[in-house]
Amino acid sequence: MDNPWGSRGVVIIGGGVAGVTAAFELRKRGYRDAVTILEAGTFPHDRPPLTKGFLSGTLSDDDVSLYTPEAFAEEKIGLKTHASVLTIDTHDLGVELRDGTRLDADFVVLATGGLPRIPAVCEDSRESIHWVRTIEDARRLKRELQPGRRLLVIGGGLLGVELSYTARELGLAVTIVEPVSRPLVHIVGDRLADWLHAHADQAGIVQHEAEVLSITQIDGLFRAELSDGSVVECDVVVAAAGFEPNTRLAGQAGLNVRTGVVVDAGQRTSDERIFAVGDCAERHESGEVYRGGHWEAAKLDGERVACIILGEAAKPHSLPWFWTDRGELHIDVIGQFADCEETLVRGQFGSTSFSVIGLNNGRVAAAACVNDPKTARQLRKIIENNVDCTPDELRDTATDLRRILKR
């Protein structure tokens, strides 16, 4: 295939936030050779709105797209959609597409994201159940979410619960089945995990702590038998059991793959001309293993790989941060509660807006802020800069965290 922007250069496989960020960052930093994104889907789009505004109908295709076609053209970034890469040639570096064309490369960036994990119990009904990873998945599900229908969500993690709130807003009866008791405990601590569980009850979401043992389909209706002895009948089933890093190409190319594509601190795979970023990557650094799964980390990977290809110093990896929306609740989570020795509450727990703060050795190590993104940003800086503050200062909403940051 002729590359419209010149020969070789950087070929990025995957047009999600990680791949697209890498392309624009390369241009921003003055990379002059060809930059090409090969995207298997219809257009480069973001994922977080798919279970939120896009599913509820408040956001359009344009709202979820990552940059306009004009922006790609202006930056001379070659974008080929419906371009599924079949293989990476590591001998003479390049990629081969499903349609038989080939593109040579100086560097390849794997940004292939993740694939939804479909529980084995859903295998027989795979054709008729749903999941949400792409805009096409979300569109297909959206058509089914009609008021008065009954939805079964398999998996009570972040995505499953978020999607359940959206379905409630749309007027569906929703049941979540999740075998793990309080699956958010290690993410937000036990008190907030319990509160969020109760909030979902109050939103009318029926929650079963159970496994789905079988699903049968009769006349378009589903019947699920659960390990707690109950039976759920429903019109729509969504599998929301997490994702697997999409490692197929890396595996075929003989790169080191474990759960994800193994990369070092510089996003390099076991072949130094090939990088991996975002949800497909698994970073091994200083004896620790870091996996993706959140938007900001994927974006940062994209920025970092551009610097590394250009031989520039890359921003360090940052604290884990993500957000999730559940009805009127917007929750920002920073750091790891699992590492914390104690927690305290800023504001009134359970009110419209409050934060749970995790401490380790007397320092702030994690925070979960409900409807308070400003406090989340400030606490994040406090953690990143290891700023000393007393528990009383943290608890008291009258304390100006910006002033603490200036100490």
Ligand X SMILES: Cc1cc2nc3c(=O)[nH]c(=O)nc-3n(C[C@H](O)[C@H](O)[C@H](O)COP(=O)(O)OP(=O)(O)OC[C@H]3O[C@@H](n4cnc5c(N)ncnc54)[C@H](O)[C@@H]3O)c2cc1C
Binding flag, residue 160, ligand X (CB under 6 A): no
Binding flag, residue 36, ligand X (CB under 6 A): no
Whichever of 88 and 356 has its CB closer to ligand X, that residue is: 88
Strands 107-110 and 261-263: unpaired
Interface positions, 315-334, toward ligand X (CB under 6 A): 322-324
Whichever of 305 and 364 has its CB closer to ligand X, that residue is: 305
Interface positions, 190-209, toward ligand X (CB under 6 A): none
| Number of chain residues interacting with ligand X (CB under 6 A) | 38
Span of 77-85, 193-201, 371-379, 380-388 interacting with ligand X by CB under 6 A: 77-85
Interface positions, 118-157, toward ligand X (CB under 6 A): 132-133
CA 250 to centroid of chain Cα atoms: 20
Helix (H) / strand (E) element for 69: namely helix 69-74
CA 316 to centroid of chain Cα atoms: 20
Span of 23-31, 107-115, 197-205, 211-219 interacting with ligand X by CB under 6 A: 107-115
Whichever of 136 and 396 has its CB closer to ligand X, that residue is: 136
Q: What DSSP line would sit under 123-139, residue for residue?
A: GGGTTT-B--SSHHHHH
Of 10, 11, 26, 85, the one binding ligand X (CB under 6 A) is 85
Find the shortest distance in angstroms from Cβ 77 to ligand X. Answer: 15
Whichever of 38 and 145 has its CB closer to ligand X, that residue is: 38
Q: Are 105 and 111 in contact (CB under 8 A)?
A: no
Interface positions, 256-285, toward ligand X (CB under 6 A): 278-279
Binding flag, residue 9, ligand X (CB under 6 A): no
Binding flag, residue 166, ligand X (CB under 6 A): no
Of 114, 183, 335, 347, the one binding ligand X (CB under 6 A) is 114
Of 23, 25, 36, 39, the one binding ligand X (CB under 6 A) is 39
**Residue 121 has which token pair?**
């119990």
Of 19, 155, 160, 260, the one binding ligand X (CB under 6 A) is 19
Question: In terms of C-beta density within 10 A (0-12 exposed, 13-18 middle, 19 or more buried), how is residue 393 classed?
Answer: middle
Binding flag, residue 293, ligand X (CB under 6 A): yes
Binding flag, residue 292, ligand X (CB under 6 A): yes
Angle, alpha carbons 133-43-88 (nearest 5°): 80
Q: Are 340 and 189 in contact (CB under 8 A)?
A: yes
What contacts 366, CB < 8 A, 6 or more positions away?
Answer: 189, 333, 334, 335, 336, 337, 339, 340, 357, 358, 383
How are strands ordered across the β-sheet holding 342-346?
321-326, 329-335, 363-370, 354-360, 342-346
What contacts 128, CB < 8 A, 6 or more positions away?
Answer: 217, 222, 237
Whichever of 224 and 300 has its CB closer to ligand X, that residue is: 300
Strands 321-326 and 85-89: unpaired
Whichever of 19 and 347 has its CB closer to ligand X, that residue is: 19
* Cα–Cα distance for residue pair 278/302, rounded to 1 Å: 7
Question: In terms of C-beta density within 10 A (0-12 exposed, 13-18 middle, 19 or more buried), how is residue 126 classed?
Answer: exposed
Number of other residues whose CB lies within 10 A of the CB of residue 186:
13
Binding flag, residue 113, ligand X (CB under 6 A): yes
Whichever of 166 and 389 has its CB closer to ligand X, that residue is: 166
Binding flag, residue 13, ligand X (CB under 6 A): yes
DSSP 264: -
Span of 36-44, 196-204, 267-275, 385-393 interacting with ligand X by CB under 6 A: 36-44
Binding flag, residue 246, ligand X (CB under 6 A): yes
Of 22, 50, 145, 188, the one binding ligand X (CB under 6 A) is 50
Whichever of 138 and 365 has its CB closer to ligand X, that residue is: 138
Whichever of 18 and 232 has its CB closer to ligand X, that residue is: 18
Query: Which residues of this chain interact with ligand X, rule CB under 6 A?
Result: 13-19, 38-41, 47-48, 50-51, 83-85, 111-114, 132-133, 159, 246, 249, 278-279, 292-296, 298, 322-324
